[in-house]
């Protein structure tokens, strides 16, 4: 179980890396996971039956050294293991215990080890930490290195300095991971009011019914429980509490509890990642807003392109070009209109890109969706669509030039073109029939000759039969510019519609991606161990921060909140 935070941290880092590649999280998100998550007291020892690891913390002059001497008795005093300086870490351990593994980042030149033979503390390893209220930053760095490797924090104060909160602020961020013993040393100079004030201060910081011991270690030779002349001494109770905590089963439970609190610390940070993932309602809103955005900007895009469309359409006024297109020649006829066509396509792409950029920048902020995720998902599809715009424009232009005008106009155009031939031929045929008939009848009937009136009427009839359909034909013949303009406008509309549809489909797919990431995240937290506080004695439970006890008693079970983004508040 002790390796669980490390494994969980690796799984979270893999999940965060995948989410970062999709743009949902910043690339450095996994760096926010708590440093030293994998560290725990059990890693200091090879053997399973390890001692309790207790660290003594306190400001300058509170008497940590004398307290250690009284705890260890004559052995440490005879070994001259007094604390040599307030800048180093001193490890006091029984001779039968081997510390197999030390933190890799520990500066060894700042660590000393002293062995003792006091069997009362065979199962306790004391670590005397440097004065953390020192101005030296290195002292605090040592504290950060060693804190994850402690089972119990022995927080030592003096009657004069118990309200100094610099050390407490440094340690309180780690309150959830350790059991706590509070010691007012040099109690011969203390008072009951100070004891009550210190206890109230601890309770206000989340320690419910904290265990506070009063000791006087001015004389390290004091025997446990020796009565003092002016104050009660709780050294015997401190001794008994340490003995109880050094029970092997409780050590295991404290370590398991530390594992759970480390997992909770990880979850407190990683739960914030889920806030970056949109839910289904956000995606639906974004899709609807995209549709409205496209409708709003469609007309301005067409209007902005009127001038380049008109310029290009004018280049199709050449009869040769136009008739080649009517006859099915689809290729662009000249270099001039090809260059203008490319310029129009480039302008269209620039306009569409501006429309998309405006939408992304505005709606990503309003909807609370990470802009990189939108860009990484939408821009490839958008850019691919832009690469096909030229072909869409050309297809629409060729269709318009091959089939100019509307359907009924093309029918009338075809009919009038046919009448331009049929009516004159019909009139000519009728005139010829009358002329031949009159000539044949003229030999026997002089009145059969047609005369001048017939000639005039025939010319008029022939002229009218040709002129009227020709005028209609000319009138309804589609304008080459109009055909090109209509084709280009149709192509622009098709391009806009294609981009609208493709981006809309991609926006819908975002919901699936976010849902899958959310499900994968919850799956990482489905299998967690039971609460390690359950079997701890009540006297030991008093040593735990009440805020953490309440949270861990709920068990870190995220299966109940699969559909919520976060379920645990950050640690104090």
pLDDT over threshold 60, residue 322: no
Task: Check residue 213 and give its pLDDT.
Answer: 92
Residues 6+ apart with CB under 8 A from 144: 36
Decide if 538 is inside a domain.
no
- Facing residues of 75 across strands? none
If asked whether residues 114 and 217 sit together in one domain, one would say yes
pTM score: 0.60
β-strand partners of 152: 54, 179
**Mean pLDDT (the chain, rounded):** 76
Please report the pLDDT score of residue 531 as a whole number. 55
* Statement to judge: residues 506 and 368 lie in one domain: yes
Distance of CA 536 to the CA centre of its chain: 39
Dump pLDDT digits (tens) for 152-188.
889 998 888 888 766 666 666 666 677 889 999 888 8
The reply to whether 176 and 96 lie within a common domain is yes
pLDDT tens track for 187-213? 888 888 989 998 888 888 777 788 899
Separation CA 288–CA 91 (nearest Å): 65
pLDDT at 387 (0 to 100) = 84
> Does the residue 542 lie in any domain?
no
At residue 254, the pLDDT reads 80
432 in the same domain as 338: no
CA angle 92, 94, 98 (to 5 degrees): 95
Residue 571 lies in a domain: no
Q: Can you give the pLDDT at residue 546?
A: 53
Residue 82 lies in a domain: yes
Same domain as 414, residue 390: no
Q: Residue 509 is encoded by which pair of tokens?
A: 């797919």
Rounded average pLDDT over 457-466: 84
Domain count, the chain: 3
pLDDT digits (tens, 9 = 90+) for 521-533: 988 887 665 555 5
pLDDT tens for residues 26-60?
887 777 675 545 667 777 877 778 889 998 888 77
pLDDT band at 536 (very low <50, low <70, confident <90, very high): low
Would the pLDDT of 107 be above 60? yes
Same domain, 49 and 157: yes
Assess whether pLDDT exceeds 70 at residue 95.
Answer: yes
Our CA dihedral for 553, 559, 563, 567, rounded to 10 degrees, sits at 20
pLDDT tens digits, residue range 232-258?
Answer: 788 989 988 888 888 888 887 787 777
Find the mean pLDDT for residues 357-372.
82
d(CA 213, CA 234): 5
Asked whether residue 290 falls in the same domain as residue 222, the answer is no
Residue 125 β-bridge partners: 53
Q: Are residues 211 and 71 in the same domain?
A: yes
Is residue 503 classed exposed, middle or buried when 0-12, 13-18 and 19+ CB atoms within 10 A define those classes?
buried
Q: What are phi and psi of 404, to 5 degrees?
A: -70, 150
Q: Predicted confidence band at 337 (pLDDT cuts at 50, 70, 90)?
A: low
Cα angle 196-551-4, degrees, rounded to a multiple of 5: 120
Start-to-end C-alpha separation, the chain: 24
Task: Judge if 111 and 164 occupy the same domain.
Answer: yes
Kindly tell me if the per-residue pLDDT of 323 is higher than 70.
Answer: no
* CA–CA distance, 93 with 90 (Å, rounded to integer): 10
DSSP structural state of residue 278: -
Give the per-residue pLDDT at 174: 67
Are 286 and 388 members of one domain? yes
CA–CA gap between residue 258 and residue 532 (Å, rounded)? 9
The answer on pLDDT for 102 being more than 70 is yes
Share of the chain above pLDDT 70, in %: 73
pLDDT at position 283 is 81
pLDDT-derived band at 275 (thresholds 50, 70, 90) equals confident
Q: Is residue 440 in some structural domain?
A: yes
DSSP 83-123: ---TTSEEEEEETT-------TT--GGGEEEEEE--GGGTT
Q: Is 290 helix (H, G, I), strand (E, B) or coil?
A: helix
Q: How far apart are CA 2 and CA 136, in angstroms?
A: 33
Q: Tell me, what CATH number does 183's domain have?
A: 3.40.50.300
Which residue, of 426, 452, 476, is where some domain finishes? Answer: 476
Tally of CB atoms within 10 A around 171: 18
Position 335 scores a pLDDT of 43
Nearest to 518 by CA among 567, 551, 552: 567
Phi, psi of 8 (to 5 degrees): -65, -40
Q: Residue 37 domain-assigned?
A: no
What is the predicted pLDDT for the residue at 318? Answer: 56
Structure tokens at 78: 């005879």
Q: Is the pLDDT of residue 560 over 50?
A: no
Is the pLDDT score of 519 beyond 60?
A: yes
Structural domain range at position 199: 42-247
Pairing of strands 124-128, 89-94: antiparallel
Given pLDDT bands bounded at 50, 70 and 90, which one contains residue 569?
very low
Residue 136 lies in a domain: yes
Q: Indicate the residue among 199, 228, 247 that finishes a domain.
A: 247
* Window from 33-37, 227-231, 351-355, 503-507 with minimum mean pLDDT: 227-231
Which range (137-141, 226-230, 509-513) has the least confidence? 226-230
| Residue 406 in this model has a pLDDT that exceeds 60 | yes
Tell me, yes or no, whether 491 and 423 share the same domain.
no
Q: Average pLDDT of 64-89?
A: 62
Q: Are residues 136 and 54 in the same domain?
A: yes
Tokens of 547: 């805020």
Q: What pLDDT score does 214 carry?
A: 92
* 9 domain residue, yes or no: no
Is 475 buried (19+), middle (13-18) or exposed (0-12) by CB count in 10 A?
exposed
Q: Which pLDDT score is estimated for 570?
A: 29
Supply φ then ψ for residue 208, to 5 degrees: -85, 120
Using pLDDT thresholds of 50, 70 and 90, give the confidence band for residue 105.
Answer: low
Express each pLDDT in 75-85 by its tens digit. Answer: 453 333 444 44
């Amino acid at each position: 179980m002790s390796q669980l935070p490390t494994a969980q941290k690796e799984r979270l880092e893999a999940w965060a890396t995948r989410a970062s590649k999709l743009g949902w999280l910043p690339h450095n998100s996994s760096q926010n996971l708590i440093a030293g998550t994998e560290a725990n007291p059990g890693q200091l020892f090879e053997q399973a039956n390890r001692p309790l690891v207790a660290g003594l913390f306190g400001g300058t002059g509170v008497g940590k050294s004398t307290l250690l001497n009284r705890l260890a008795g004559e052995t440490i005093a005879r070994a001259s293991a007094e604390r040599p300086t307030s800048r180093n870490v001193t490890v006091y351990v029984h001779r039968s215990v081997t510390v197999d593994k030390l933190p890799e980042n520990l500066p060894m030149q700042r660590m000393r080890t002293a062995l003792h033979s006091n069997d009362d503390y065979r199962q306790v390893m004391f670590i005397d930490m440097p004065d953390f209220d020192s101005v030296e930053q290195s002292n605090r760095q040592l504290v950060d290195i060693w804190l994850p490797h402690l089972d119990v924090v022995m927080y030592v104060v003096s009657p004069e300095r118990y309200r100094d909160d610099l050390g407490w602020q440094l340690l309180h961020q780690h309150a959830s991971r350790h059991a706590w013993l509070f010691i007012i040393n040099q109690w011969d100079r203390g008072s009951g009011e100070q004891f009550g004030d210190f206890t109230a201060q601890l309770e206000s910081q989340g320690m419910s019914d904290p265990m506070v011991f009063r000791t006087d270690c001015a004389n390290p030779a004091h025997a446990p429980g020796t009565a003092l002349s002016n104050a009660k001494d709780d050294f015997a109770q401190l001794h008994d509490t340490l003995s109880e905590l050094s029970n092997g089963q409780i050590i295991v439970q404290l370590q398991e509890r530390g594992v759970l609190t480390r997992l909770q610390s990880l979850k407190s940070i990683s739960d914030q990642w889920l806030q970056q993932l949109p839910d289904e309602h956000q995606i639906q809103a974004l899709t609807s807003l995209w549709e409205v955005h496209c409708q709003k900007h469609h007309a301005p895009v067409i209007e902005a392109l009127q001038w380049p469309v008109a310029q290009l359409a004018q280049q199709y006024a050449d009869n040769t070009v136009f008739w080649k297109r009517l006859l099915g020649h689809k290729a662009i006829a000249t270099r001039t209109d090809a260059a203008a066509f490319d310029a129009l396509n480039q302008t269209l792409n620039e306009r569409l890109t501006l429309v998309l950029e405006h939408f992304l920048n505005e709606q990503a902020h309003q909807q609370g969706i990470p802009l990189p995720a939108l860009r990484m998902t939408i821009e490839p599809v958008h850019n691919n669509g832009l690469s096909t715009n030229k072909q869409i424009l050309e297809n629409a232009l060729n269709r318009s030039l091959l089939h100019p005008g509307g359907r009924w106009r093309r029918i009338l155009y075809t009919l009038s073109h046919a009448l331009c031939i049929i009516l004159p031929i019909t009139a000519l045929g009728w005139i010829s029939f009358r002329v031949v008939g009159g000539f044949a009848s003229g030999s026997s009937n002089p009145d059969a000759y047609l005369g001048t009136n017939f000639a005039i009427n025939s010319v008029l009839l022939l002229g009218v039969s040709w002129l009227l359909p020709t005028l209609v034909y000319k009138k309804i013949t589609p304008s080459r510019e109009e055909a090109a303009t209509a084709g280009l406008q149709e192509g622009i509309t098709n391009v806009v519609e294609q981009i609208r549809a493709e981006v809309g489909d991609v926006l819908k797919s975002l919901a699936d991606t976010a849902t899958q990431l959310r499900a994968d995240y919850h799956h990482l937290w489905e299998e967690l161990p039971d609460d390690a506080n359950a079997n701890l004695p009540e006297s030991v439970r008093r040593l735990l921060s009440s805020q953490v006890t309440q949270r861990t008693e709920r068990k870190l079970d995220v299966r109940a909140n699969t559909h919520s983004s976060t379920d645990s508040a950050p640690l104090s």
